[in-house]
Amino acid sequence: MKLSRQDLLKIKGKRTIKPVTSAVDRATPLAVPSTKLKNAQKFTTICPYCAVGCGQILSVVNGKVINVEGDPEHPINQGSLCSKGNALLQIANNERRLTKVLYRAPQSDQWQEKSWDWALERIARRIKDTRDKNWVAEDNGFTVNRTEAIACLGGAALDNEECYLYAKLARALGIVYLEHQARI
Ligand code: SF4
């Protein structure tokens, strides 16, 4: 007798579901336990792992993430998450996670704590100085207006819109070495 996959599922279903449903019919209704998410604050966010950019709902109690779910109202994932997205708890509640800027000066073996403003200002200053010092206005009689001293590398965590903005910024700065991790 030749069985299709559908036939097999039907047979298995009849054999396995019936005893279970009978047992459920006979069982005394259980009190629904109060859920640990009942008093949690809910926040929506975007999964940081890859460029798919799935929407997530985080449940937070006392500043600690206690649950991660896919956001059913998010147009990309519509409630689903892959195993990496589901494991976001391990990043959010991780004592080894850096939450402050650490800076190690040239030749130093010590890390210093710095503010985000300090870091942004310093990055901007280094980019501006490097660009100005290495500006190439002409090449072989052609106007090129570029710098060859800075390279930009996009990562797989950047989504479409972030890549677009990143490339725009790089090209506005005259950066020509613009690549993506996925192509290397
Ligand atoms: S890692 Fe998974 S959950 Fe996160 S954005 Fe990518 S596909 Fe979505």
Phi, psi for 127 (deg, rounded to 5)? -65, -45
Query: Ligand 1: which residues within 6 Å by Cβ?
Result: 47, 49-50, 52-54, 77, 81-82, 84-85
Quick one: pLDDT at residue 23?
Answer: 47
Which residue CA neighbors atom 4 of ligand 1 most closely? Answer: 85
* List of domains in the chain: 41-92 (2.20.25.90), 134-184 (no CATH)
Quick one: pLDDT at residue 161?
Answer: 84
Q: Which atom of ligand 1 is nearest to the CA of 49?
A: 1
The predicted-structure confidence for 107-127, as pLDDT tens digits, reads as follows 999 999 999 999 999 999 999
- Distance CA(120)–CA(126), nearest Å, equals 10
Strand, helix or coil for residue 81: coil
Q: What is the mean pLDDT of residues 70-97?
A: 93
Separation of first and last alpha carbons in the chain: 53
Q: What is the mean pLDDT of residues 71-90?
A: 94
- Distance CA(136)–CA(129), nearest Å, equals 14
